[in-house]
Every structure is written in C-alpha cells, then in structure tokens.
Amino acid sequence: MSSQNPNARTRILNAAWNLLEKGGSKVRMSDIAKAAGVSRQAVYLHFPSRAELLIETTRHIDEAKAVDDRLAPSRAATNGRERLQLFVEAWAGHIPEIYGVGRALMAMQDNDEEARKAWGDRMQAVRHGCAAAVSALAADGELRSGLTEEKATDLLWTLLSVRNWEQLTLEAGWSQEEYLTALKDLAFRGLTDTAD
Amino acid sequence: MSSQNPNARTRILNAAWNLLEKGGSKVRMSDIAKAAGVSRQAVYLHFPSRAELLIETTRHIDEAKAVDDRLAPSRAATNGRERLQLFVEAWAGHIPEIYGVGRALMAMQDNDEEARKAWGDRMQAVRHGCAAAVSALAADGELRSGLTEEKATDLLWTLLSVRNWEQLTLEAGWSQEEYLTALKDLAFRGLTDTAD
DNA sequence: TCAAGAACTTGACACTGTGTAAAGTTGACA
DNA sequence: TGTCAACTTTACACAGTGTCAAGTTCTTGA
C-alpha cells in the first residue's frame, strides 16, 4: 500500500476534480477518498472540511488550466469592443472547466459560510473583469446612453453567470458555440448602441 | 391547546410561507411546525415530505396571489411588442413573491428528484409564457433576423430566471424598478432589431 | 541498529435533520 | 357511551460530516 506517484494531497485534489466533473453532484468525502486510494480520515489530514477541499480544488484547477493565460488576450486588447469580446470568450470558455466544482460549491452556500465566501470571492473577481471591459468601452464612448458603468458591469456580470451557462447549455441543450455567440451578441446589444 | 382559526394544514402552509419569505433558508420541518403551533409529526400527517410541503406551499402562494390574474394583461395584448413587455412585467413582479420557497426548492434539487421535477415544471410553465411572447413577436415580423423562435424563447427564459433576479436585486442591490426596466430593455434589444 | 516521527489506517462516536413507528390524549359527534 | 379523527409524545433508523484515539508502516538520522 505504498503511495502512488503524486503525493496524497494532489491525488485527493485530482480525485475531487474528476468526480465533480462527472457531475454526479452527490460527491461525498468517502467517494473522493476512495477515488484517491486513501482512507476517508486521511482526507481530513489534508483539508479541514469539505468546503475547504472544494475551494482548494478550484485553485488546483486554476493552476492546471492556467486561467491567467486565458485572460491575457483580453487585457491586451486595443479598444473597448475588442476587450469586451475577448473577455466574454475567455470567461465563457472557462466556465465548463470549473462548472463541476462550482456547482458543488454553489450547493453548499446556504449551509456553509466558508463556501459562500469562497464562491462569492471568485464571482467578485469575474465582476472585476466585467468592470474592466465596461470601463474600456466607456473610455471609447461606446457605452450605451442611460447606462452607468456600475449598472453596465452588473448587467454583464449577470449575463455571464454560471447559472445562465448552465441553463442554456445543460437545460436548453445549446452547444458551447451557440452559447458563446448568443452571449457576445447579447452583451453588445445590451451594453452598446450599435451591435457588432 | 385547541386549534386556532384556520385548519392545521393551512396554518402549516402559511407558516412555511412566512418563514421562507424571511429567507433564513435553513428552514427545518421543526421550525415550520413550531411556527404553525403544531408538533413536528403533525406536519407529516398533512405532507409526506419536506419537498411536498414546499411544492404545496408554492401552490398555496399562487392561489393567494392570483397568478393567473397577473398574466391576463399579457395574454390580452394586441401585438407582439406589447405582449412581450406585459409578460416581462408580470413575471418579474411575481418573482419576489415566490422567491423564498423557490430558493428552498432550488437548494433541494440535487438531492431530491421530486423537488427537481416540481421546480422544473414551474420553470417550464414560464418557458411556455416566453414562447407565447416570442411567437407573437415573430407573427409581427419583429423577431430579430438570425434568431429562431426556439432560440429566442430560450434566451428570454434565461434572462428572466429567478437566479438573475436574485443576482441583480439581492447581490448587486438593484431596486425592483431598476431590475424591471433593465430587463425589459435587454429583452427588446436581444430579441428584436429596434429597441423600444 | 534502534528510536523517533510523519503519514497513514481502522474503528468508534457525536451531531444534525429527515422520515417512520407506535402508543397515548382529546374533543366532537352519533 | 363509545368510537373516530386529529393530534401529541417518545423513540428510533438512516445518511453524511466531522472528531478522537489507538494502531501500523515507512523513513531518516544519531
């Protein structure tokens, strides 16, 4: 029973990731332990609670998926419209990667203050990205009249929510491609005066 | 300990409604029983499970709030644009009324098939309303080119989701008024070629 | 080579909330 | 007076999280 290649902590994180990605949603600590080839108690040796484990799993995914690289093109955009488009593309592409854990974390929000805060922080980060795109749009004078930067940010942030992705792809059956074009469209129509 | 005015069943439904509206979200069967002035077991005499109780509570609210009356103006609209506007107003106005129970029901979806189906049914009913509005719009030739009725319906349905209402009002702090105008705006911009 | 310690395992238990079961109480009504 | 329905009280099974304590095994360093 010697430990496999990566250390136990990493194996646990990978196990959690895999199981949550399959989406069974009812992923218990014991399931994760079993998948990691470790006892249930060993999981608590590395993570104090289920919430912490899930939060660490999102960090683990971010690292593996190089989230920052994904956002780089958007930050390098030379005008507001380009920035908005690239930001939407980046985030929309990232959603499916974190959806599994995100779903579990969202489900815990009512019971677990820690989980609530962790997921809230992540969503605030997305909001910052939205604010930057809106700000670039405003700088170009492209922001629709009758819309403050604040409100435009909230609107974009809401359009890009994980729940909306979930509803359109998983419930309504849209392809990722359809989702992406519809959302870019909606963002431009909602935030600017001339659609792209 | 004689029973108060309304019969126990009604008192339980009202208690559930009240508690869920306050939003504590962690509303247990025992909380509801206590608020109804009844033993926890008595609740099970009237409702087989927590899911059933919540579902019955939504029906109870519908009855009390006369949901159908709310939709009537929309159905009586004489053109597509009017129909869309009135539908959005009706549903947007109804969301705060059912949000408390809706939240609890949404939280149960992962664990409880019954709850999943019940909430899903309600959301399908909303989708039908969306479809009717989109259809009226299409009949007037007002539906944006490049958008099928199906896709337009999904889009509207998603815009009008309870989660979006939750995010904009409860999380972003918008007033109901701000939410309503922004959503009407977004719906017209997203579905038609000329904004209202 | 032995001792210490880190990393784990095994097994037991407390806690919460849902749902089930059974026996007792109360009031209305025939 | 007796019976039925509506309720109460008490007890328990079950799932899943998290805690605790006592082993085992493997490594490392004096």
Rounded mean pLDDT for each run of 10 residues along chain A, 196 residues in total: 68 97 88 96 97 95 90 94 97 96 93 90 95 97 95 98 98 98 97 81
Q: How far is the alpha carbon of A176 from chain B, nearest alpha carbon, in Å?
A: 14
Tokens (6 digits) for B91: 């549903």
- Chain A window 46-85: residues with CB closer than 7 Å to nucleic chain D are 48-51
Question: Cβ(B191)–Cβ(B137) under 8 Å?
Answer: yes
Q: Which of B189, B191, B196 to mutate to test the interface with A (most CBs of A within 10 A)?
A: B189
- Burial of B130 (C-beta count, 10 Å sphere; 0-12/13-18/19+): buried
Tokens (6 digits) for A152: 């435009």
Give the C-alpha separation, B27 to A89, whole Å.
40
Secondary structure of chain B: what % helix, strand, coil (to 5)?
75, 0, 25
Tokens (6 digits) for B100: 């408390």
Tokens (6 digits) for B80: 């597509």
pLDDT digits (tens, 9 = 90+) for B123-171: 999 999 999 999 999 999 999 999 999 999 999 999 999 999 999 999 9
Give the C-alpha separation, B175 to B180, whole Å.
9
Phi first, then psi, for residue A161 (nearest 5°) are -65, 150
Residue type at A162?
A: V
Q: What is the dihedral of CA A77, A81, A86, A92, to 10 degrees?
A: 160
- Per-residue pLDDT band at B67 (split at 50, 70, 90): confident
Q: How far is the alpha carbon of A71 from chain B, nearest alpha carbon, in Å?
A: 24
- Stretch (H or E) spanning A120: helix A113-139
Distance A114 CA to D19 C1' (A): 19
